[in-house]
Structure 1
Amino acid sequence: MPESDSIRHFRTGAINFTLKGGRLRALTCYGEEIFSLVGLALRDPNWGTIPLRVGEPTIVEHSNHRQISYTAENHLNGARVFGWSVTLILAANRLSVAVAGECLTPYRANRAGMYLRIAPATAAGQPASIHHPDGSITDTSFPTFISPHQPMQRVAGLHWNTPGGTHIELSLDGEMFEMEDERNWTDDAFKLYAPPLDQPFPVAYHRGDRIVQSLTLAIYPSQEGFRPLPRLHGCTPLYAREPAQRLAVTRRDVLPGGVVPAVFRSPVHLAFVLGGEPVAELRKLLPLVPTLGVGFVSVATVADKMLTGDTLRELFPLLQQSFPHIPRGFGSAFYFTELNRFPPPDDLDYDFVYFGNAALVHETDEWSIIETAAGQAATVCAARARYPRQEVWVSPLSLYPRFNPNRTDGGRATEEVYRPERQLHDDFIAGWVLRCLLHLAEAGCATVELSEIDPARSLFRWLRREGVTAIRRISPASQRHKTEVELRAGGSTYYILAEHVAPYCFSVVPLERKGI
């Protein structure tokens, strides 16, 4: 049999592992190691391990799972002692391993078949439930200190939670298993093996004798740690044009005296972006604006860094008169900088503040773009501290700055802003937006409005269509090369992986949820 020494890495949904030499190594879920090893062993009457030769795996991709198959043989002194056929089925949060062995040469063995090594780093001290072959259940715990004897016996199934809250359900079939604490011999594992040591050994195997074993691992995500997802709006630029006495839809950006409603979802946010005469412009615009479907109204300016307190005192009553029962706010048409440097007087009554965030302001490399997600969270935290009674919105979230309030050439802030001549991959853009949503949710942002990012618009539509209400971090914030999150939508949970380095990846996998 041709022998394989390949190393394969597999990832499906929440489950990750490496296949090397016929062994599953470092099986992790949500960054926590569950199994350090799943393998085959043939032990001689003196507990020596018979060498195993493993063939090249065959991988078949299906619509909702991946099948991995390979064969293996134990060889001793040139003789083929045992032959094995192994099939793995890997789905979003479920793994099954089926093992079929056949004796090829008569042999006496203390142990033959599959074994599992559970990682103490995520199991030691954790409460567990042992499911026995007769259907009974024993509540116990994984040992914290090294157990001198078998801590778990007559094991047909084992349930426990990791320190991170992930619920693990392990089912074993074909033989009765038991556990020993391999830390006695400095192996960092709780090992499950069959048959139990209280059964007679060695066992005499004859040619043609078969061993059939299987395991099923089901992983259910924790329902803790989720943060409310901000409301999601999209921005479609509109501006008022005389003498048509109506709002003319264009694909242009906002002009002084313009109106920018976020029509991506209802209710609409009607943002009046005003010019050099804000009060007069708002008086002129209000009769032209339909009130049906409007859920939020706000004012901002592109003629100056920010609207002054005196101007806001005149604008807010006009908004109150036209939209008497609708939340109102104000914002910066540029960056958080303006909102931070020019706060309004404390005596004003309003419901929310907003500002725009753009990634490509200073640096243009991909890692710098990814790092802006954490910077956006910082702006929201600072805004919430400065405006403790109001909601904080990011509007819009964009890759490129819309305006430049710091021009030195005498041009208007609304003139075309320089954009780097580079194309970003769609999956990279969607991954950046996902990372931004995660950071903004953790910072307590109430609403995110989107502009000019087509790949992200598709993500926003999917989030809204599925009814996603909460998001949870999986990968640590320090990992710049990828973002892993879970999303909650009603009775469904989704796992999303975004790889931020070439060849890029943005994958969505539905997970099973368990009422525990």
Structure 2
Amino acid sequence: MSHLSRSIALYGTDEEIPPPRLLRAGKLSAELEAGNLRYIRWQGEEVLRAVSFIVRDKDWGTYNPEISDLQVTEDSESFTVTLRAVAGDSAQRFSYDARIEGRADGTLTFHGRGRTHGGFLTNRTGFVILHPIEGIAGAPVTIEHTGGEINETVFPEIIDPVQPMMDLRALTHNTPGGLTVRTLMDGDTFEMEDQRNWTDASYKTYVRPLALPWPYRIEPGEEIDQTITVTVSGAARTGAAGGSVSLRAGAALGPTPPLGLGLRPEDARTAQEAVASLRDLNPAYLVLHHDPRAGHDRASLESMLEMARALGADPWLEAVITATDDAGAAEEISALGQTAHDLGDPFGTVLVSPAPDLKCTLPGSVWPDAPEAAALYDATRRAFPGVRIGGGMFSYFTELNRKRPPVQHLDLVSFTTSPMVHAGDDRSVMETREAHPAIIKSVAQIAEGALWTVGPSAIGIRDNPYGAAAKDNPDNIRQAMNWNDPRQRSLLGAAWNLGYFADFATGGAAAVALGACIGPFGAVSAASDFPRPWFEAHGGVYPVFHVLRGLARLNGAEMQALDLPASGALAGFAARQGAATEYWIANMGPTQVEVVVAAANALGVAILDADCFAEAAASLDHMDRLSDNQSALTLDAFAIARIRTGD
């Protein structure tokens, strides 16, 4: 595709997404999207983030349902939605009917009934309910169990690694605005997990306890029949919102941490072809992934080291250890240390993980055989004397939280995240920033004073701990668990990366790695076997390149607080270099945002948005071109601004 549409610029894809339909019944409102409900509100205050009837495959991937016979009736006092849907693939299909009713008295019901004719293998089919986290974390909740027992507890504040609430029939809680919300679940036994583990901005109450076998088979003729009833009472106390956002650099937060990129052996040769652009990006370090199961060896290490040397980047070794016993792991690490010594001892940081830890072990399950963590780390220190030893998880914070390392044997704790393990839509991806403060607080507790780092993280998932593999994406669409996600190449992706770095850098990370040099998580367009609309014909750099390049140049500069709310319209970062303060700001949504910069000195501003997308793709120094004296800005959808004051 040679034509650059606004959709390609904003999202990296021309996939059409029908807008949600707003349903109203008196003070009750909800958004109908893909047959499910989002943003259930009473008098404007959010009471639930979502109620959804979902169908998942054996790898925890969520099917996009094919909806038919959609009927919506609505008046001032009520709304009713009925639909039929089919979810599945070429191997299996599950059909269901749904009925949604909302009333002005504050009652909302969602009924789903489904069946399969040929049998259906699934990890979850039925309802999930999402509770928002802002103003809810740490707040009281009343639990009604399936046997009728009632007890009082609280929503977790520090992220719970397992299920904080189990055997659920109903939950009752109060919103920050003073509403009382009761959620009744009929048709099966429900339990709750803390979805902040995956950076989702919610607590999730879901059907079918994880202690039961999975995947499980729904037999032909078997019926799934469930109902969710939400009852809201009280009057919301909500304040007015809107207007421009004012930026003012505040308290000093310490030096900006180094920014890194990921690199895998299969991308090393292609990355060499983009070395000029990547050298200009100037990452502080490269995380070199080494996994003998994928055929990685000395030659593959050499190819990645060559790339690190070409960029002047510090090489970090991310080594998967395949042996499952202590003696075998020690021998494997010793051999790897000898290889590194033969290559000139290039690694200043070595991260290690047993291969079994790359896969999820659900709460209550038996952990697979793996080397004892302390013994593994001590063997690594012997094999790599004098270097910094890191451990934790190469997969997600979830797994780190469930299997916490003995930090006294480590110099640093590491993990990664992805914003689309459970949902792939744009809003869910951007909402994950709301979970970052809890991730930061929780990982600091896990690290017990040790340094901690995050990444390489990207919108797409590097690996799938919950199934066989990440999803291929030949149609270039938005979907959960994408390996190649189109937004990596878009302005939305650039905004997400800026917000991610800002959150974890100001939150105390010793280093932050984002994405990769090239490939599906890359910053530079390169030949590939996945779709790259417009870039296939024009090449160049993705919008995220300009964000990473700017942040890399702030390494060591004094960070300053901006106090932007995690759920707000803007994400950003400020740092002081000498007499100048530099702001990097992103509009995190699809609508324009007015920004006012509270600074007495002259302003220099550079903008990256849809209007200059093509120009920026061809210009490595696009964000160096500062215009003068713009204290008030209008940022278009997912636009990035670099603002410099005090020169």
Specify the TM-score bucket, using the shorter chain as the normaliser: 0.3 to 0.5
Structure with max Cα Rg: 1
Kindly indicate which of the two structures has a greater share of residues assigned to strand.
1
Structure with more contact order per residue of length (Cα contacts < 8 Å, sep ≥ 6):
2
Kindly indicate which of the two structures has a greater share of residues assigned to helix.
2
Q: Report the TM-score, using the length of structure 1 for normalisation.
A: 0.48
